[in-house]
Amino acid sequence: MLFESKKKHRKRLMQQKLPAEWLMIVKRNVPYYSYLPNNAQNELQGLILIFLEEKEFEGCDGLKITDEIRLTIAAQACILLLGRETDLYPTLRSILVYPHGYIAPINHRQPDGTVVEGMQPRLGESWSLGNVVLSWDDVLRGASDIHDGHNLVFHEFAHQLDNESGASEGAPELPKRSMYIAWARVLGREYKALISSLERHRSTLLDSYGATSPAEFFAVATECFFEKPVELKRLHPQLYEILQSFFQQDPASFIEKGNG
């Protein structure tokens, strides 16, 4: 009964529109919104309402959480969900937001088995235990330029999608079992190609951070898919195609049609 009630409540929210002042914030801070077709804009508004109701936001280092912060983050997180059967990041409970980049403790295991502890500057991170951490400055910066290939929210929430499969290894839960073989083949090949290009000091469309691990490659590829879709489709057509089949979106067509 509880599950059925949740489904009905979500359905009601999906049919609602954002209040005018909230929509103004989304349009101002998330210019990607204006490139979406009208049906996708309507769907996004409903997803944002569900996200805001179900997820908690917590300010860190004295940052006060405002509607602007909540809406700017929720809108970008929900762009990744458009057009798909989704449970809206089911393992995510809260979003921790710092005013700027922050320092986090790290434990790094060396090849010989020893563990090195220290501190590392961060802009964001995604935890498998239900939290995403973000720098508000960098959320705004990533959202404002939709063509630079860098978007902190897209990156960290791609990790959340990756975690839904049970492990963060660059393979989210795919809609069809038959997709996993093609996914592993295409992303595996593209991941190795990125590493090879960097070793040869060649310029790459995909950010070099994607060579860190398969999980980071998926997150970086997600940023590029939404922010540099035309270039990705031209230079990496198979990667674009398989990401398109997962996200059920064609952002290259949005940009080319210039709905903004």
Number of domains in the chain: 1
Residue 183 domain boundaries: 7-257
DSSP H helices in 15-146? 20-29, 38-54, 67-79, 136-144
Q: What is the pLDDT of residue 259?
A: 47
Answer yes or no: is 1 within a domain: no
Answer yes or no: is 43 within a domain: yes
Answer yes or no: is 2 within a domain: no
pLDDT < 70 positions in the chain:
1-4, 101-124, 128, 258-260
Answer yes or no: is 169 within a domain: yes
Q: What is the pLDDT of residue 37?
A: 94
- Rounded to 10 degrees, the C-alpha dihedral 170/237/81/194 comes to 30
Answer yes or no: is 59 within a domain: yes
CATH code (residue 125): 3.40.390.10
CA distance 30 to 77: 11
Q: Exposed/middle/buried for 188, CB within 10 Å: 0-12, 13-18, 19+?
A: middle
Distances (CA, A) of 66 to 6, 17, 63, 124: 26, 19, 9, 19
Q: What is the pLDDT of residue 36?
A: 95
Tell me if 193 sits within 8 A of 208, measured CB to CB.
Answer: no
